[in-house]
Structure 1
């Protein structure tokens, strides 16, 4: 697979703003570990190899367990995720593939049991962010692993 265009060079102003938006996640009220799960699950759902590769490596660098990484796609059946993590994964899925009639009240209420209003707002922005990154990286066929050195992802020890 060859990259189609380099969107970072072609639209540097937009790329800079997207980076700023993503960097703001570091101030999120939601734990970093959960944000990694969100990024990985949305990337799996969207089929974004570049983002999936990058976020798995980031999660591994930040101490995420390998088995949990393997179980993200089967989180409903897995016993490895807390109720709070399950709520984040459910929220990620519903916002990544919006149902025809919006987010069901039942799901919203279940997620609200785990997250404050601020946390849920921050979580929603994180889901928005990863979905935007997925779409641009899929559109322009960014090659998985191609930014490992630039992003310091070689530390993950995955090849």
Structure 2
């Protein structure tokens, strides 16, 4: 895959601001393993190999179990995820693939049963942000792994 252009040099201020939102989410009340699941699932749905590669490597470095990472795509059938994680994954899917009917009351009740109002807001921002990154990297064909060394992701031991 050949990158179409480098957004960091074409629009550095916007790239920096979007990065600031991402960093603020890392300081939110949502636990990091949950955020990783959200990032991975949205990236799978959106076909963003750059983000999928990055977030699997980050999750690995943070101690996530490999089998759970393999099960994210089939989380509904897997027994490896808690009710809280399942609610977050369902919310991620609903917001990533918005239906004409929007988000159902049933799903909102499920999410509300696992998350506080603040956490639901932060979870929604997490889904919004990863979808934005996905769209940016899919549009401009950012090759997976190009920032591994810069972000320390080469330490995950997942290079080809």
Shared fold (TM-score, shorter chain, > 0.5): yes
Is it true that 1:31 corresponds to 2:31 in the alignment?
A: yes
Q: Where does residue 118 of structure 1 map in the other structure?
A: 118
Q: Where does residue 49 of structure 1 map in the other structure?
A: 49
State the TM-score, normalizing by the size of structure 2: 0.98
Q: Where does residue 146 of structure 2 map in the other structure?
A: 146
Q: Output the CA distance in 1 between the equivalents of 2:22 and 2:6.
A: 19
Q: Gaps spanning 5+ residues in structure 2: where? A: none
Which residues in structure 2 correspond to 1:68-107 (within 5 Å)?
A: 68-107=68-107
Q: Output the CA distance in 2 between the equivalents of 1:33 and 1:114.
A: 15
Q: How many residues align?
A: 159
Is it true that 1:6 corresponds to 2:6 in the alignment?
A: yes
Query: Shift of the alpha carbon at 1:19?
Result: 0.6
Is it true that 1:58 corresponds to 2:58 in the alignment?
A: yes
CA deviation vs aligned residue, 1:51-75 (integer Å, no higher than 9, x gap): 0000000000000000000000000
Query: Shift of the alpha carbon at 1:27?
Result: 1.6
Q: Output the CA distance in 2 between the equivalents of 1:20 and 1:121.
A: 17
Q: Where does residue 18 of structure 2 map in the other structure?
A: 18
Query: Shift of the alpha carbon at 1:150?
Result: 0.7
Q: Where does residue 127 of structure 1 map in the other structure?
A: 127
Q: Output the CA distance in 2 between the equivalents of 1:133 and 1:68.
A: 23
Query: Shift of the alpha carbon at 1:29?
Result: 1.2
Give the SS at the match of 1:113. helix
